[in-house]
């Protein structure tokens, strides 16, 4: 279908091409090129961090970050069940134990009451994942980590440019960017992320020791001075200069990218907020949501689920994507003895009833209107 509206369309163009051309013309295409360090510095600075370590994906960013914590068997890491599998994989590869919590029904991010309830003497870290552009309740989570000495890692792959007001009770507001919290934060620059390099990721930190470990891990722990006497078990997670060139051009127009995401979010909310039986993304008063993906959740009382909704949208030429399936519901993890007999009702409802609508930065206003009109029509047919 030629007028199909895909769930994501990235925005790349002349600025990216200019930097890419420079890579090709100079022959600097590997991770040795100068754009890598420039992209690291630009992204760290935007997020309010000292150091960036660019890697090959968001998944490898999480793996390198968790590996840098030196966890031991029996150590526990608390994370939301409602997230991507990369989060659990990083913990399992480090030999530690993932401990799940359910989603908050309003923000869809990890429920902080449950985080508190699942703390044990073995808890070493908490992995906070900002879901679909809405920040985790970081004021409470940061307090909890400070009080208990538990290390905080942020997965900010869906929250480029999102902010949290850390001074909720008083004025002036103290807005702080996602990606600036805790020991380390991980980003993805996959093609559907707000800043993209096609494939790519980064870990940010303020700790020079962690930075050095992340750099070593990314580059196979090559030894010094004996290059082929490796000093640890690392990986090849290097980002190429080509990817970093694209990333740098993206960061240079990050304000416009985030503004467009927020505009798309506001337009969807304006057009859909009166539909009965459809829950829309929240924006808590203490949060700035960047609407990475505009998710909607059908009320169970409508008798329709996300699968049927997606099929009807598809028949009208509109792409969508179902919400995450919780980690506790993953057969590949349960078969390994993880999360047996655990139930997370909010996440389960989100999986059944939730999907996200076309949200790419290159989505046009005309396409947006067509999506909204189509949803209105589908809902009328259901009544
Ligand atoms: C996209 C994403 C990742 C993984 O990033 P890749 O670059 O695809 O490996 C990790 N965490 C979250 C929350 C994501 O949305």
218-275 per-position pLDDT tens digit: 999 999 999 999 999 999 999 999 999 999 999 999 999 999 999 999 999 999 999 9
Taken as a whole, the chain contains a residue count of 383
Is-catalytic flag, 193?
A: yes
Residue whose CA is closest, atom 12 of ligand 1?
A: 157
Compute φ and ψ for 79, nearest 5 degrees. Answer: -150, 165
Asked whether residue 383 carries a pLDDT value surpassing 80, the answer given is no
d(CA 360, CA 264): 9
Q: Does the predicted model carry a pTM greater than 0.95?
A: yes
d(CA 39, CA 242): 11
What is the 59 CA–ligand 1 centroid distance (Å)? 6
What is the 170 CA–ligand 1 centroid distance (Å)? 34
Q: For residue 293, name the pLDDT band (cuts at 50, 70, 90).
A: very high
Q: For residue 316, name the pLDDT band (cuts at 50, 70, 90).
A: very high
* Number of helical (H) and strand (E) elements in the chain, helices listed first: 13, 14
- Taking a C-beta distance cutoff of 8 angstroms, is the pair 54, 40 a contact? yes
The confidence score (pLDDT) of residue 364 equals 96
d(CA 186, CA 191): 16
Asked whether residue 59 carries a pLDDT value surpassing 80, the answer given is yes
What b/e string do you get for 116-139 counting C-beta neighbours within 10 Å, with b at 16 or more? Answer: eeebeeebbbbbbbbbbbbbbbbb
Asked whether residue 305 carries a pLDDT value surpassing 80, the answer given is yes
Asked whether residue 62 carries a pLDDT value surpassing 60, the answer given is yes
Match 């689920």 to its residue by tokens: 305
Compute φ and ψ for 349, nearest 5 degrees. Answer: -65, -40
Catalytic residue among 14, 193, 261, 314: 193
Task: Considering only the C-alpha atoms of the chain, give the largest distance between any 2 of them, rounded to a whole number of Å.
Answer: 72
Cis peptide before 119 (omega within 30 of 0): no
Percent of the chain with pLDDT over 90: 95
Asked whether residue 123 carries a pLDDT value surpassing 90, the answer given is yes
Averaged over 53-76, what is the pLDDT?
A: 98
Q: Which helix (H) or strand (E) holds 372?
A: helix 365-382
Q: For residue 278, name the pLDDT band (cuts at 50, 70, 90).
A: very high
The confidence score (pLDDT) of residue 301 equals 86
The confidence score (pLDDT) of residue 2 equals 61
The confidence score (pLDDT) of residue 339 equals 97
Choose one of 10, 54, 57, 58 to mutate for the ligand 1 pocket test, by most ligand atoms within 8 angstroms of C-beta. Answer: 58
- Taking a C-beta distance cutoff of 8 angstroms, is the pair 15, 247 a contact? no
Q: Which helix (H) or strand (E) holds 188?
A: strand 184-188
Residue whose CA is closest, atom 6 of ligand 1?
A: 58
Averaged over 128-151, what is the pLDDT?
A: 98
Report the pocket of ligand 1 as residue ranges, CB < 6 Å.
Answer: 57-59, 83-84, 86, 129, 155, 157-158, 188, 190, 201
The confidence score (pLDDT) of residue 382 equals 82
- Ligand 1 atom with the smallest distance to the CA of 193 is 1
Q: For residue 381, name the pLDDT band (cuts at 50, 70, 90).
A: confident
Task: Determine the 3-state secondary structure of 322 from DSSP.
Answer: strand
Averaged over 204-217, what is the pLDDT?
A: 98
d(CA 354, CA 297): 4
Q: For residue 302, name the pLDDT band (cuts at 50, 70, 90).
A: confident
């Amino acid at each position: 279908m030629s007028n199909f509206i895909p769930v994501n369309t990235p925005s790349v163009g002349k600025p990216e091409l200019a930097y890419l051309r420079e890579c090709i013309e100079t022959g600097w295409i590997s991770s040795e090129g100068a754009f890598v360090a420039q992209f690291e510095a630009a992204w760290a600075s935007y997020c309010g961090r000292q150091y960036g370590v660019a890697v090959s994906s968001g998944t490898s960013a999480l793996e390198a970050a968790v590996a840098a914590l030196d966890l031991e068997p029996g150590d526990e890491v608390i994370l939301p069940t409602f997230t991507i599998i990369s989060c659990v994989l990083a913990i399992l590869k480090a030999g530690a134990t993932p401990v799940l919590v359910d989603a908050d029904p309003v923000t869809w991010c990890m429920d902080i009451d449950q985080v508190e309830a699942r703390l044990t003497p073995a808890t070493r870290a908490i992995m906070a994942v900002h879901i679909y552009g809405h920040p985790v309740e970081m004021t409470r989570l940061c307090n909890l980590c400070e009080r208990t000495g538990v290390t905080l890692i942020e997965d900010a792959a869906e929250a480029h440019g999102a902010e949290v007001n850390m001074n909720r009770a008083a004025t002036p507001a103290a807005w702080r960017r996602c990606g600036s919290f805790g020991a380390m934060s991980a980003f993805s620059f996959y093609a559907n992320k707000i800043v993209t390099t096609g494939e790519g990721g980064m870990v940010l930190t303020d700790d020079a020791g962690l930075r050095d470990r992340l750099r070593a891990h990314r580059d196979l722990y090559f030894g010094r001075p004996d290059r082929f006497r490796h000093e640890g078990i690392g990986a090849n997670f290097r980002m190429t200069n080509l990817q970093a060139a694209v990333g740098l051009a993206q960061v240079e127009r990050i304000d416009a990218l985030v503004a467009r995401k927020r505009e798309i979010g506001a337009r969807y909310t304006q057009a859909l907020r009166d539909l009965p039986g459809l829950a829309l993304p929240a924006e808590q008063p203490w949060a700035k949501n960047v609407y990475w993906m505009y998710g909607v959740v059908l009320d169970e009382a409508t008798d329709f689920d996300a699968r049927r909704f997606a099929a009807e949208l598809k028949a009208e030429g509109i792409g969508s994507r179902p919400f995450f399936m919780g980690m506790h519901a993953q057969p590949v993890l349960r078969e390994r003895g993880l999360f047996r007999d655990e139930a997370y009702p909010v996440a389960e409802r989100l999986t059944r009833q939730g999907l996200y609508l076309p949200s790419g930065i290159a989505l046009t206003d005309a396409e947006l209107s067509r999506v909204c009109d189509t949803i209105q029509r589908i809902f009328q047919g259901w009544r």
